[in-house]
Each structure stands twice: as C-alpha cells, then as structure tokens.
Amino acid sequence: MRTRPPRSMLYVPGDKPRAIEKALTLGADAVILDLEDAVAPEKKTEARYNVREALRADWACPVLVRVNGHGSEWEHDDREMALYSGVDGLVLPKVEDARQLHALQVHVPLWAMIETPCGVLAAPEIAAVPGVAGLLAGANDLARALRTRMHPDRLPLLHALSAVVLAARACGKVPVDAVYNDVRDLQGFERECLQGRALGFAGKTVIHPGQVAAANEAYGVSEAEAQSARGLLAAWSAARAEGRSVATYQGALVEQMHADDAQEQLDLWEASRGTSSSGDPLA
C-alpha cells in the first residue's frame, strides 16, 4: 500500500484562532499548527491552549504541531500538550543533532527542520533516525546563518537544499521545501515550486492560503502525466509478456526503473483523488 507524501504543508500561527478555523477548509495536505517562530513569547500559553482546542476538531488532513526548540522554556509543555491531544506528528525546529531525536520517547512521526549549517551537515544522521518521517528545509534561518543575499533562484542555498533532499531520499524519508516569503507573488511562488520539485523535494511548506492550490498542483501528478504512466506500463507489461527485458514507449527506451517510476506516479495520482487504498498523506 502506497501513501501520498504531502504536496503542501500549511503553517498556521497558534495564536490566531480564526486562521486555524479557516485552515480546516483550505485543502492543504497537512497543517502545521505553529507554537514557535510565529508566536510571540507573551502569547505562547494562549497559543498552546488554542492548538489543544484545534486538535479536537475533525480535520480532513493530518495535523502537526511545531513545538518550541530544544532547550527552550516552552518545549516540554508544548510537546506534552500535543501528544496528549492526539497530534499526528511533531515538527522540531533547528535540529542539529540526531541524539536529540533518539532521546525522544514518542509514538508519532517526527519532522525535523534543517535550518542551520550544523543541521545541514548532520542531515544524514538526522534522517536516519527511525522515528523521523521527513526533513523540512528552513531557508530563512539558514540564509541568515550563512550570511547570504536574497536571490530569485536561491543560488546561495542550492547546495544546502540539495543536501537536505539527498539525506532524506537516502533514508527513505520525505523532503519538503522551505516557505516562500512574498505571499503576494504567486508567480514567483510557482516558479520556486517547480525548482523545488526539480531538486527532488516531495512538497512545499506554505504560509498563506493562496499558496496551497499552487503547491498541490506543482507537486502533484497531472492527468496527462497519469495517462503517460498508464501507457508506459502497458508497453512494459506487453514486453515482459513476450519475454523481453526492455520496451519502447513514445520512442524512448523503457526498463524496470522506468516502469517503477511510472507506477509510483500513477499511485500518487490515484491517492490524490481518493481512489487508492490509502489517500491520506503522512499515513
């Protein structure tokens, strides 16, 4: 049984009840209720209460909680609240040491944010921790730590972003791209989604309702792609039935790896439409 990785993971500030309520209807593949950077220190307690209440709602997608960082005064209370409230996973900010994750005795998926130079260097060990479901790139903090300049193609960050993808994929985990800051620039957002997919990311974290549909489309499988996958699989099946180990489809050579990729694409397409055995991302 295959499951669909999240094309869109929507951050929602924990101190904004109306935004949390709206997130119920936005169609994101996952929602991250944020107790960390999006919430001022004086509002941490209020936000924790809001998130606890929100976790009681009937969500159509998995709901994660981004807790405050390791060693912070809010970390323990955040984690206990989330776990006792039935959260679907924990998002851990600024992870730099795999031992930190090994020490957590929890029974929900962990999503480790890679947003510092040390985190990038330790990404392979972090991704290898059994409880880790995926790695989330944190480009804003990483850019600041690297003292880089803003660039429309993220050239100063490409090495780090690729390192996150490489570590996650090597360990069979899900890599998710960083947020796009200018919520008014949908064209720029779509361009960055295409870049992220080309780099190997499975989806994108988003910070505005208007970014959800674009991320779902960019990281999804289109009808045309699904149809092409069906055609390739049919050609491959016919070749194998004739005892051949290679086939051709639309003029291109087809081997087992191409058939495997086509089947994966078709599974993801079916899952996104609720027609497979399990269409829920993060399941």
**248-279 pLDDT, tens digit each:** 999 999 999 999 999 988 888 887 776 433 44
Looking at residue 47, its pLDDT comes to: 97
How crowded is the C-beta side of 204, counted as CA atoms within 13 Å? 28
What residues form the annotated binding site? 66, 115, 141
Residue indicated by tokens 């290679």: 246
State both tokens at 98: 């795999």
- Residue range 156-170: average pLDDT? 98
Distance CA 54, CA 90 (A): 15
Q: Is beta strand 247-249 parallel, antiparallel or unpaired with respect to 203-206?
A: unpaired
Sketch out the chain's domains with CATH numbers: 8-218 (3.20.20.60), 223-272 (no CATH)
**Banded model confidence at residue 280, pLDDT cuts 50, 70, 90:** low
Answer yes or no: are the C-beta atoms of 64 and 33 closer than 8 Å: yes
Distance CA 234, CA 247 (A): 10
**Nearest-angstrom CA–CA distance, 217 and 35:** 28
> Given this model, what pLDDT does residue 165 score?
98
In the chain, the amino acid numbered 165 is V
Instruction: Express each pLDDT in 42-88 by its tens digit.
Output: 999 999 999 999 999 999 999 999 999 999 999 999 999 999 999 99
| Residue ranges of the binding site for Mg(2+) | 115, 141
> What secondary structure does DSSP assign to 163-194, as a single string?
HHHHHHHHTT-EEEEPP-S-TT-HHHHHHHHH
Tell me if 11 sits within 8 A of 35, measured CB to CB.
no
- pLDDT of residue 36 exceeding 90, the answer is yes
**Interval 104-146: pLDDT, tens:** 989 999 999 999 999 999 999 999 999 999 999 999 999 999 9
Write down the pLDDT at residue 265: 85
What pLDDT digit, counting tens, does each position of 217-237 carry?
999 988 888 899 999 999 999
State mean pLDDT over 145-160: 94
Measured distance CA(54)–CA(236) in Å, rounded: 48
Strand partners, 112: 92, 135
Q: Which residues are annotated as a binding site for substrate?
A: 66, 115
